[in-house]
Structure 1
């Protein structure tokens, strides 16, 4: 998928959480965590009930060296997923959350 085409859709006013999440995933997959982060923040701003966006936002924040932000995104994502009955997404984010916590030094905030 071509990110430029999706960016053009946004420029034309065809914005939405799914579009932003797709762009965020594309940018994460290519290693551009900063761009991914921007789109995923917008995605959860457009639809705070979109658990997939929260999951990817956690990954983007972790890739940017923001473990506290990643943990916060996954915590919110777990709550959203559980409320919506999306138990698989909740389990995945719980695993990411747990792994990141284990990787942090004991004195980390």
Structure 2
């Protein structure tokens, strides 16, 4: 689909999550970053990227990603992700 010109943020999120399930964190992050590049307010992609960074042990990157995702979620009005990312940001700021 990507090669056929049907690239989208949702497609990249799906591919990124599939790579993450298979344990290929680097490929997953690459696709999630592309999802964000395609649609900067795609809060689900920000959340997924932050989770992977946290899983990889990169807390500073995860904190920054969650902060940016929080702003995207607020702009988009995605209150469920807003609440989740507020909690994640607070926890990371305390650690």
Question: Structure 2-normalised TM-score?
Answer: 0.87
Q: 1:51 aligns with which of 43, 47, 51?
A: 43
Larger radius of gyration: 1
The aligned residue for residue 87 of structure 1 is 79
Tell me, yes or no, if structure 1 residue 39 matches structure 2 residue 31: yes
The alignment's C-alpha RMSD in Å is 1.5
Tell me, yes or no, if structure 1 residue 11 matches structure 2 residue 3: yes
Gaps of 5+ in 1: 1-8, 105-109
Which one has more relative contact order, counting CA pairs under 8 Å at least 6 apart? 2
The aligned residue for residue 67 of structure 2 is 75
Deviation at 1:70, TM superposition (A): 0.8
Gaps of 5+ in 2: none
Q: 1:27 aligns with which of 19, 22, 37?
A: 19
| CA displacement, residues 63-92 of structure 1 (integer Å, 9 cap, x when unaligned) | 233211111111011111112211111111
